[in-house]
Amino acid sequence: MRRARKVKILATLGPASSEEAVIEKLFEAGADVFRINMSHADHDLMRELVRRIRNVERKLGRPIGILADLQGPKLRVGKFKDGKVELTPGQIFTMDDDETPGDETRVFLPHPEILQAVQPGDRLLIDDGRLALQAEATDGKSIRCKVISGTKISDRKGVSLPDTTLPVGALTEKDRRDLDAVLLEDIDWVALSFIQRPEDLAEVRKIARGRVALMSKIEKPQAVTRLDEIIELSDALMVARGDLGVEMPLESVPGIQKQIVRACRKAGKPVVVATQMLESMISAPVPTRAEVSDVATAVFDGADAVMLSAESAAGDYPVEAVATMARIAEKVERDPNYPSIVNNQRSEPEATGADAVSLAARQIATTLNLSAIICYTSSGTTGLRASRERPLTPIIALSPVVETARRLSLVWGLHCVVTEDAHDLDDVVNRACHLAYREDFAKPGDRVIITVGVPLRTPGNTNMLRIAYIGMDGLTGI
């Protein structure tokens, strides 16, 4: 099942898409990776969804990636005597450690770490920014605030802190339990919510011990300021525009999106653009023109993947949303301006043999008009380096490790195929040519270029190129 696009689609599963038959339809419509949101899925549901995805994988014979998205810290106010209160801009409103139900002057804040960390001048955004407060005085047990904008607050509404770095990690007790459960299943990626600093990744790395790849969700201003450090310690990033748009001015989000995408491309790390991409398709069979442009922008920027959240999880048209996103991506990638835009954003290779080989493979494939670039990769490094070059020539990532193929299914341009382990270099070339023929990338007489590390099974050791002809039997002709 060959995709007619290079950008990947990540679809969230939920009430509208949890049945195996629907998962199969979503994959056939264009979904490459499925997201399980641990904010809504318990462990039994998570395990059942993994089982259903793997059933679809076996039926269709294609590697499918699975992302488990941890909830992260959910900061909320307490309750009010009457469930809600009306406030007036300019008035004083206090958050404190008193568990008594709140009124129009105060409310309980069950997070001592916030009470101790917030400083005068810091903003506190309630209910996704619908109510904005600014701290005027703090004593470690209460925060005296001035209402800046908004007029309502009700029970258990969320609190965002765009100006405050909390002295706690990104993992909650629920996240730790969820992570332990996730690590027992065939799950490829774990997304970490509300990352503030690179240190937030250390605990997860220690627990995971390489069993899953880590994706950092960039949702907070503090993460943007330390972006390069977070990228270095992550396996991939997600531009989580929903929370970014709450904690930062909305007009800043498009520029930050481009900043993150370009930084990830430079580092050779996959990047996902997420949140509200086709939001209107939750209840409508077609998107708005603005949403189509939004998806197109992410594709033009060279993002590895674009993500659907409620559109595929709880919407009325989950399969149509995936198919629509696929059509938009295909159209953009056929646009005459697309090649020059992607080329202009290409980063310089690092001074390594592996980067030099990947660069040469792209240049040779373009110059000789080769049918495919074929990467033989056990760890996935060779595939990532080939994708970083953003060649217009199709890329086949050939791996004897099914977990590697599943992880790479998130990566731009990679058509992932699981194969038996090769015996030697000639076996690699023969397998590569046969699979290019079988997967309909090349026909007899065509040429392909193969990148591989010699000796085989040495991670990150991409050091060889070979051009091969496709013979009449689908194997190498020379």
Which helix (H) or strand (E) segment holds residue 218: the answer is strand 213-218
CA distance 327 to 278: 13
Is 217 catalytic? The answer is yes
Catalytic residue among 197, 217, 220, 269: 217
Q: Is 76 a catalytic residue?
A: yes
Catalytic residue among 6, 35, 62, 388: 35
Tell me which residue has tokens 């800043």: 252
d(CA 418, CA 373): 16
Phi, psi of 78 (to 5 degrees): -80, -150
Q: Which residue in 3, 54, 74, 76 is the catalytic one?
A: 76
Rounded CA gap, 191 and 337, in Å?
33
Phi, psi dihedral angles at 189 (to 5 degrees) = -130, 145
Q: Choose the catalytic residue: 138, 275, 324, 404.
A: 275
The CB-side HSE value for 193 (13 A sphere, CA atoms) comes to 21
> Tokens 């013979």 map to which residue?
471
Buried b (16+ CB within 10 A) or exposed e, 3-28: bebbbbbbbbbbebbbeeebbbbbbe
Q: How many residues does the chain have?
A: 478
344, with CB counted inside 10 A (0-12, 13-18, 19+), is: exposed
Q: Is 35 a catalytic residue?
A: yes
DSSP letters spanning 21-59: HHHHHHHHHT--EEEEETTT--HHHHHHHHHHHHHHHHH
- Is 275 labeled as catalytic in the residue annotation? yes
C-alpha span between 428 and 421 (Å, rounded) = 9
Contacts of 273 (CB under 8 A, 6+ apart): 238, 239, 241, 257, 261, 298, 301, 303, 305, 306, 307
CA atoms of 125 and 95, how far apart (whole Å) = 12
Amino acid at 57: E
Per-residue CA distances from 418 to 27, 237, 292, 361, 421 (Å): 18, 25, 34, 22, 9
What's the one-letter identity of residue 224?
A: V
Cα-to-chain-centroid distance, residue 197: 18
List, by residue number, the catalytic residues. Answer: 35, 76, 217, 275
